[in-house]
Amino acid sequence: MTDQDFLPADADEFDIAPVRLTVDLAALTDNWRDMARRSGKSRTAAVVKADAYGLGLEDCGIALYEAGARDFFVAVVQEGVTLRAYAPDARIFVLSGIWPGQEHLFFEHDLVPVLTSEEQLALWMAVVAEHGDHPCALQVDTGFNRLGLSMQEAIELADDVSRPASFSPVLVLSHLHSGDMPSAPSNKAQLESFQKVSAAFEGIDSSLSASAGIFLGEDYHFDLTRPGIALYGGEAIDGMKPLRTVAKAEARIIQIRTAGTGDTVSYGATYQLTRPSRLAIVSVGYADGYLRSLSGSGVPLRAGGTQGGFGFIAGHRIPVVGRITMDLTIFDVTDVPENEIKTGDYVELFGPNIPLDDVARAAGTIGYEVLTGLGLRHERRYIYPD
């Protein structure tokens, strides 16, 4: 007999899951269309690396492809292989480039390596010399000091008339390091550097802007934009209202208990109650990606004096109290009327009532980390576009 045999005939795994995640694919595709509109005449790709920012590469990839996306960016070749099954005629760019032994994957699955160094460039030259023409892209560093050919290396490559005919890049790209800070002078400096690169590779598409860069204006758009976090409902620019909410995370209340003034809560007794309280013990912890730095107290790694995380239930924001543990978090529900809350109810961890980036700020991090850190225990439900 299996666990399923004990469930009522009409039971739904999602409805009884200890921790669950709702992903609104209609909101996701609306956000992609919004970013495409903001990109003006430029084509608009979709960045789906890290399992589509933690929300599911398969379902998100299918939805974005059906919405019209035909250019995708992944981080590693394995993600590209997975996506190819759901985006049959899309261009799929692999941002980490290529390593020896991966060549067959790029050819068999028609993936485009983004070459990031002289070493990768030499490897790819040898590969296409042996196996024939295959598209690639070039990453150029315009000030990030992360991945990419230097400006000098890129310009020399553009002017190299001896490069083999089988070497045929279809895209040259760079990345803004402070695009989420519109007033940063470095944005204009990187733009001017990339304009030189784009001009050197005349006739080849250029791409500079991820989500934040799209909001900087037409000059930053070039031929292709690459929105990521904005698609998934996160803030592209600090403090700017995000697009539609895509993900809602919830966790079930296991127990509601009472505690008295002066009692302490959770590991280390770092939180002391100042009033008689009702506490909801909720089935989510840092093993589920609910960061320990969201704890209500006792976490020296969180700077800035923030008070910790909040949940939402029955129209009320409820604070985390004490340290978050591996599988459990304690919320103070004293201010929620007793008749409006019970064991088995779900607390919203982030979603329409608790914005993703509010949670991130409370944890001393960014929305990207909250999404990509979601644990494997979340039971998922996808809401598909009509």
Residues 144, 177 contacting (CB under 8 angstroms)? yes
Q: Residue 162: what pLDDT? A: 76
Query: 0.85 exceeded by the pTM?
Result: yes
Q: Residue 299: what pLDDT? A: 62
Distance CA 138, CA 117 (A): 9
E strand spans, the chain? 19-24, 43-44, 46-47, 71-74, 91-94, 111-115, 134-139, 167-173, 205-207, 224-225, 247-259, 264-265, 271-272, 277-282, 310-313, 316-319, 329-332, 346-350, 379-383
Query: Whose CA is closest to 172, among 196, 192, 188?
Result: 196
Residues serving a catalytic function are 49, 267
Q: Phi, psi (5° rounding) for residue 325?
A: -110, -175
Q: Phi, psi (5° rounding) for residue 260?
A: -100, 165
Sorted by where each starts, the structural domains of the chain and their CATH numbers stand as 39-232 (3.20.20.10), 247-383 (2.40.37.10)
Does residue 281 sit in helix, strand or coil? strand
CA atoms within 13 A on the CB side of 161: 0
Q: Residue 164: what pLDDT? A: 73
Distance CA 303, CA 362 (A): 10
Residues 169, 138 contacting (CB under 8 angstroms)? yes
Q: Residue 3: what pLDDT? A: 47
Q: Residue 306: what pLDDT? A: 57
Residue 113's CB: how many other CB atoms inside 10 A? 28
Burial of 275 (0-12, 13-18, 19+ CB in 10 A): exposed
Q: Residue 328: what pLDDT? A: 98
Distance CA 83, CA 38 (A): 26
Residues 151, 200 contacting (CB under 8 angstroms)? no
DSSP-derived secondary structure letter, 269: G
Query: Would you report the helix, strand and coil content of the chain in percent, each value rounded to 5?
Result: 35, 25, 45
Query: Whose CA is closest to 19, among 307, 370, 369, 381?
Result: 381
* Residues in the chain with pLDDT values less than 50: 1-3
Residues 37, 56 contacting (CB under 8 angstroms)? no
Distance CA 167, CA 115 (A): 12
